Each structure stands twice: as C-alpha cells, then as structure tokens.
Amino acid sequence: ETGVTQSPTHLIKTRGQQVTLRCSSQSGHNTVSWYQQALGQGPQFIFQYYREEENGRGNFPPRFSGLQFPNYSSELNVNALELDDSALYLCASSRRGGIYGYTFGSGTRLTVV
Amino acid sequence: GEDVEQSLFLSVREGDSSVINCTYTDSSSTYLYWYKQEPGAGLQLLTYIFSNMDMKQDQRLTVLLNKKDKHLSLRIADTQTGDSAIYFCAESIMNYGGSQGNLIFGKGTKLSVKP
C-alpha cells in the first residue's frame, strides 16, 4: 500500500509568479485535502476535494485553487504569489465515510522571494 | 469559533512519562487526533479518540478526554529520545454522511527528550 506522495519537495518562486503542487493520494483513498503550515504554526485547512469537486474550503483567497483527477490525485495552484505564501504545503488523503484520520504526505516546502 | 490550544514546549528525561495537553472549543467535535511531526517531515497519525470515549490506550500512548472541560491529553510512557518531535492536537467535526470533516490543529507542542 503506497502512502501519499507530493512533488516537488522544495520550490523557490518569485513574488507574483504562479505555482502548481502535486499530490498522489494513498491507494483506496478518494478524498484529498490541502493544508498550509507556516513556520512554527499548525497546519491550516485550505480545501478538500471529493469526486473532482471542491467539498469544503478554509479561509484562503480565490487565488488558491485546486483540481482532483479521476485517479484521485490532486493539484494545488497558487496565483500571484505573495511572500506570506512561503510555507510547507501538506496534502492529506482519506476515504469518504472513513473515520480514522487522514494520511499526510511529507509536504512541499515553498519559498517565495 | 473553533480553536485548539496547546502549550508550546515540554522537556522530559529519557524513561520518564510525558504528558501533552490540549484544549478545544468546539463542543460538536466528534473526532480528536494526535499527530507527530519530525523535522522536515509530514504528519504521522499517532492515535485518535471519539468524543463519546473517555480514554484510549495504545501501547505506550494513553489518551484522556474530559468533555466537560474540553481537555485532551496524550501521555507517552517510557519516553525515548526518538519521541522528540512536535505533537499536534487536532479536532474534526463529523460531516453529513458520517465521515470526518477538515482538521483544526493546535500550534503544536515541541517535545524534547534528554538522555
């Protein structure tokens, strides 16, 4: 059983640019969530996808958007990058109807300069 | 609103017990979790407890839940240097359909274990 994999592991972007982060969910999982973890903070919920549709969203602006594909993998897109977007971005997968928590990937460290 | 609070640091000696505390505000929380994060890594689910339970034990880990005070604790028995990490408490509210909703995390407690 493979876990959650994220790519790339590290990324440096310039303010104003756009970035796409990718996630492959754990085998058997059909729901994907994205979290932002700033340095020294707990993860903050960005949004969740189920059946290729957004299924819940946290307090993040529209320039944060996502996709889920038929194989349950997912992308997080961030437009017009700001310095405060520098963080660890975590993808988590789960099974709809499941109650045993989420499986997290190792994250993508995004630095905006 | 929803909020989860944790103390930021805890230091213990190897072999002692560690107790990490957490308070939450949402009375409708249905699931409560403890995650572990090692440097440069993602989050590892350690254990969870449903809000209708008072205690759960899993090997060296004991979770206690006081619903009246909205207080959750994680006890690690015989703490080892490999337990040094940041521990996050998280709450989740059941979605329509019975599955867990998004997680609301505390800021994490950094556990340092001295040999």
pLDDT exceeds cutoff 80 at A20: yes
Distances, alpha carbon A96 to alpha carbons A27, A28, B4, B55, B68, in Å? 13, 10, 24, 26, 30
| pLDDT level of residue B1 (50, 70, 90 thresholds) | low
Residue type, A43: P
For B66-93, how does the pLDDT look when each residue is reduced to its tens digit (9 = 90+)?
988 999 999 999 999 999 999 999 998 7
Q: What is the pLDDT of residue B95?
A: 64
| pLDDT level of residue B100 (50, 70, 90 thresholds) | low
Bigger pLDDT: B95 vs B6: B6
The alpha-carbon gap from A34 to the nearest alpha carbon of chain B, in Å, equals 10
Given CB atoms, is A104 within the 8 Å cutoff of chain B?
yes
Reduced to 3 states (helix: H, G, I; strand: E, B; else coil), residue A103 is: strand
Q: Which of A89, A102, A109 to mutate to test the interface with B (most CBs of B within 10 A)?
A: A102
Q: What is the pLDDT of residue B112?
A: 97
Q: What is the pLDDT of residue A91?
A: 96
| pLDDT level of residue A111 (50, 70, 90 thresholds) | very high
Closest by CA to A12, choosing from A83, A72, A66, is A83
| pLDDT level of residue A56 (50, 70, 90 thresholds) | confident
Residue type, B33: Y
pLDDT exceeds cutoff 80 at A97: no
Residues of A in contact with B20 (CB under 8 A): none
Q: What is the pLDDT of residue B97?
A: 60
Given CB atoms, is A98 within the 8 Å cutoff of chain B?
yes
Q: What is the pLDDT of residue A99?
A: 64
Q: Please give the average per-residue pLDDT across A64-85, as a whole number.
A: 96
Q: Please give the average per-residue pLDDT across A52-59, as a whole number.
A: 90
Confirm if A24 and A32 have CB atoms less than 8 A apart. no
Tell me whether residues A104 and B31 touch, CB distance under 8 A: no
Given CB atoms, is A45 within the 8 Å cutoff of chain B?
yes
Query: Which of B44, B45, B106 lies nearest to residue A42, judging by beta carbons?
Result: B106
pLDDT exceeds cutoff 80 at A98: no
| Number of A–B residue contacts, CB under 8 Å | 67
Average predicted confidence (pLDDT) for chain A? 92
Confirm if A56 and A73 have CB atoms less than 8 A apart. no
Q: Which two tokens stand for residue A81?
A: 């990058």
pLDDT exceeds cutoff 70 at B99: no
